[in-house]
Amino acid sequence: MDDLDKQREFDITEFLVINKGGLPLFCFSPRKDLDPALVGGFFSAIQNFVKELESDSESEGDYIQSISFGDHYYIFRFNNKFNLFFISKSPKKIKIKKINSHLKNLELMFIDQYHDKIADFDGNVTSFDKFLVIIDKYFQDNFTKLKGMW
């Protein structure tokens, strides 16, 4: 089964981790034509624009939580400690509450796995490539839970 088949099976079409400046640390997508730097820069610009509009507050709620685009949602989680956005793209038929739950789990796993590399980030994003193995295992272990998201 290739990555595209896995994505269809789990109904999680894309997952990105970007820093506040828009640099993609990790990108999981079946699309070969997806430019993670362009997507990361775009989402970062939108989030920073919203933050600028609400410049009197520092709470997480000041960031966009989701964007509806066509028949998909982009769901965002922001980690204040490391200034990272965790972003998933999922079909609208998936319950946002469940996607948020999985996104939170992925955030915790990413930070747990790469805490030191994030804290001392030197610009080398290839050190995060092995997270793909963790994502594959997570979704294989949680497939029955994901089926309940419809």
CATH number for the domain including 26?
3.30.450.30
Whether 41 is in a domain gets the answer yes
Whether 139 is in a domain gets the answer yes
Whether 45 is in a domain gets the answer yes
Q: What pLDDT score was predicted for residue 94?
A: 85
Whether 150 is in a domain gets the answer no
Question: Looking at residues 13-36, what average pLDDT do you find?
Answer: 91
Tens-place pLDDT, residues 44-64: 999 888 888 876 655 555 788
Domain count, the chain: 1
Whether 14 is in a domain gets the answer yes
In terms of residue numbers, what domain contains 137? 3-144
Question: Looking at residues 33-39, what average pLDDT do you find?
Answer: 91
Residue at token pair 């989030």: 47
Q: Tell me, what DSSP letter sits at residue 61?
A: G
Q: Tell whether the model's pLDDT for residue 16 goes beyond 50.
A: yes
Q: Tell whether the model's pLDDT for residue 17 goes beyond 90.
A: yes
Whether 149 is in a domain gets the answer no
Whether the CB-CB separation of 99 and 88 falls below 8 Å is answered with yes
Q: The pTM is what? A: 0.83
Q: What pLDDT score was predicted for residue 144?
A: 39
Helices 131-141 and 3-10: crossing angle in degrees, nearest 10, is: 40
Whether 130 is in a domain gets the answer yes
* Amino acid (one-letter) located at 94: I
* Beta bridge partner(s), residue 84: 19, 79
* Beta bridge partner(s), residue 19: 84
